[in-house]
Amino acid sequence: MEQEYILGLDLGTNSIGWACINEKTNKIIKAGVRIFDRAEQPKTGKSLAEPRRTARLTRRRLHRRRVRLNNILTLLLKSGFIRDKKSLQTPYTGNMWELRVKALYNKLSNEDLAGVIYHISKLRNERIEFTKRTYAVDEMMYHCVTREYNKVNLYELPMDIIDIDSVKLKKATDSSISFNDRYNEYSFNISKSTLLKRFMVNYNNISIPVQILEDPIELLLKLHDSKFAVSDEQYEESILLPLYSVIKGVKTVPEKSGLNQWNAGGRKRNPNEIYIPISSWIHK
């Protein structure tokens, strides 16, 4: 009658431990270990397989890049933006930046527009892949913050590369180009040379309650009187600038200026940006 046993293995970098256990009695029949030289370079300690692995990863990366670019060329060809795949190489061979500068002052043809989308997709995907290689990570996430009354919402969204196989042009104007893939929507601002992504944040959120002060000025004044009061002599040649505006006799902090300058429109704002106006009465 054959004996029933369990074989256990412990695999290490320079050894293999083993043990046989009787399945019925749970007793060790025999155990041992086999030791061998590490598969590494003696001087550096690096794996002997590292050169082959690095070359293999490089081949895969270049192959995937060729496949992605070929897919978007095929898509642009089917959509009628270009006559053939050589259209993207003329007349801007090796310098697609000139084409993007041209878009600032001239309306682009279908072929030129296809070249811009092609170029943007290449750069955006390569930036993500470069970051993954640099930090040895497989996935990256966006962390988004939205504001609601008395709370702040945090979201985690995957940082997807552009799926070139499913890219579709939505709208093109003198100032922007909008397109989407099967995952996300994008808009390229021509004048700022900036690619924008639309975030759909209806899930995976964490809400943090925050207290909104009804009268922050009153609190600041109390803190000033209790902790920061100094002698009158130190106030000489000094002024106190109000952090509020007086609108129809009411002290008000505007939503898009002053302490909330970060929320103003126009150019891109720094989250820490504030604007403190100097009232006319100070000069009197």
Sheet holding 185-189, edge to edge: 168-172, 176-180, 185-189, 194-197
d(CA 21, CA 209): 57
Closest C-alpha to 76, from 67, 68, 85 = 85
Bigger pLDDT: 55 or 31?
31
pLDDT band, very low/low/confident/very high, at 233 (cuts 50, 70, 90): low
pLDDT tens-digit series, residues 6-31: 888 988 878 899 999 888 888 888 88
Average of per-residue pLDDT across 167-186 = 84
93 pLDDT above the threshold of 50: no
Check pLDDT > 50 for residue 91. no
| The pTM of the whole model exceeds 0.75 | no
Q: How confident is the model at residue 83 (pLDDT cuts 50, 70, 90)?
A: low
Rounded Cα–Cα distance for residues 202 and 190 (Å) = 29
